[in-house]
């Protein structure tokens, strides 16, 4: 959740000074080449400057956790007042990924769980108790709602980071 709050605030700052969110982040990473490399790869793979169809938007974020730096670009559409996520590009530098397929699976499952939190997270309380008891009555992102996901791993000479 911390990344969501931090990156949302960075977007607010970029908006305040009328800067592109990607370029705003780049300008503040001049002394952080590892972060810059991850951010640039995500923007490149997402074709950041390409125009989008009407009612579409694109966002970018960058965060470090457990020694791994991750950038993501998300493309969304507003369709009849509803948000539809079409594509998520994930670039990550975990230092060394011991099991790249497992690392990719962790990144993509994190994307699904993060989208679930952003789109549906609601815990209801009735008579002092939580209503939802398990995943059968807590809405999760379903397979038919899952966007196209692309994950790119940057191998670096840093200590191995985590993917959880």
Note the pLDDT of residue 133: 86
> Could you give the number of structural domains in the chain?
1
Note the pLDDT of residue 137: 82
Q: Is residue 164 part of a domain?
A: no
Q: Is residue 20 part of a domain?
A: yes
Q: Is residue 136 part of a domain?
A: no
For the chain, give the secondary structure using H, E and C. Answer: CHHHHHHHHHHHHHHHCCCCHHHHHHHCCCCCHHHHHHHHHHHHHCCCCCCCCCCEEEEEEEEEECCEEEEEEEEEEEECCEEEEEEEEEEEEEECCCCHHHHHHHHHHHHHHHHHHHHHCCCCEECCEECCCCCCCCCCCCHHHCCEEEEEEEECCCCCCCCC
Q: Which domain holds residue 83?
A: 2-117+146-155
Note the pLDDT of residue 163: 83
Q: Is residue 29 part of a domain?
A: yes
Note the pLDDT of residue 34: 95
Note the pLDDT of residue 18: 97
Note the pLDDT of residue 135: 79
Q: Is residue 75 part of a domain?
A: yes
CATH number, residue 33: 3.30.365.10
Q: Is residue 163 part of a domain?
A: no
Per-residue pLDDT for the chain (164 aa), expressed as one digit of tens each? Answer: 788 899 999 999 999 999 999 999 999 999 999 999 999 999 999 999 999 999 999 999 999 999 999 999 999 999 898 999 999 999 999 998 989 999 999 999 999 999 998 898 888 899 999 998 887 888 889 899 999 999 999 988 888 888 87
Q: Is residue 138 part of a domain?
A: no
- pTM higher than the cut 0.85: yes
Q: Is residue 130 part of a domain?
A: no
Note the pLDDT of residue 32: 96
């Amino acid at each position: 959740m911390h990344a969501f709050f931090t990156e949302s605030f960075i977007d607010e700052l970029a908006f305040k000074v009328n800067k592109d969110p990607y370029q705003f982040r780049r300008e503040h990473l001049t002394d952080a080449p590892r972060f810059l490399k991850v951010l640039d790869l995500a923007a490149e793979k997402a074709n950041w400057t390409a125009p989008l169809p009407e009612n579409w938007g694109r966002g970018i974020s960058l965060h470090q956790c457990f020694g791994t730096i991750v950038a993501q670009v998300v493309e969304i559409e507003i369709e009849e007042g509803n948000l539809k996520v079409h594509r998520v590009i994930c670039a990550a530098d975990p230092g060394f990924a011991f099991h790249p397929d497992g690392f990719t699976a962790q990144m993509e499952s994190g994307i699904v769980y993060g989208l679930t939190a952003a789109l549906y997270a609601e815990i209801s309380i009735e008579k002092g108790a939580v209503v939802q008891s398990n995943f059968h009555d807590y809405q999760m992102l379903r397979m038919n709602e899952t966007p196209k996901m692309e994950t790119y791993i940057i191998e670096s000479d840093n200590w191995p980071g985590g993917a959880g």
